[in-house]
Structure 1
Amino acid sequence: MTIVPPAFDEPRRPEGPRDPGDAWVVADSGERYWGRFGAAGLLAVDAERGVLLQHRVAWSHFGGTWGLPGGALHEGESSIVGALREAREEAGVPDGAVRPRFTSVLDLEIWSYTTVVADVQTPFEPVISDPESVALEWVAIDDVESRPLHPGFARAWPELRRLLEERVALVVDAANVVGSVPDGWWKDRAGAAERLAGRLDGVAIAAPELGIGGTEWFPEVSLVVEGQARALDAHPHGVSIVRADAAGDDAIVAEVEKRVGSGANVFGVTSDRELADRIRRTEPAQVRSAGWLLERL
Structure 2
Amino acid sequence: MPENSSPAYAKQPVGKPRIPAVFWLLLTISLSLIMGTVLLSNDMKHLKTIGRFFGYELFPHEVKLPPPTALPRPMPPASVTLPLHAIEPPVAQTASTFLRTWRISGAAMCAALRDAGVQTSEWAAASFNAETFECFFEHSGKREKDQLPSSIFVIVRGDAAGTINNMRVKIVNPQTDQNGQLDPNILRIFEIMLQQPQWLDFHEALNAIKNLRDIKEDGFGASISFSREVLNPGRYNFTLSLDASSGPQKRTRSYFSDRTWLPSPEPSGKTAPAPAPAPAPRQ
Q: Which has the larger radius of gyration?
A: 2
Larger % of strand: which?
Answer: 1
Task: Tell me the TM-score normalised to structure 1 length.
Answer: 0.21
Of structures 1 and 2, the one scoring higher in RCO (CA 8 A, sep 6+) is: 2
TM-score scaled to structure 2, two decimals?
0.22
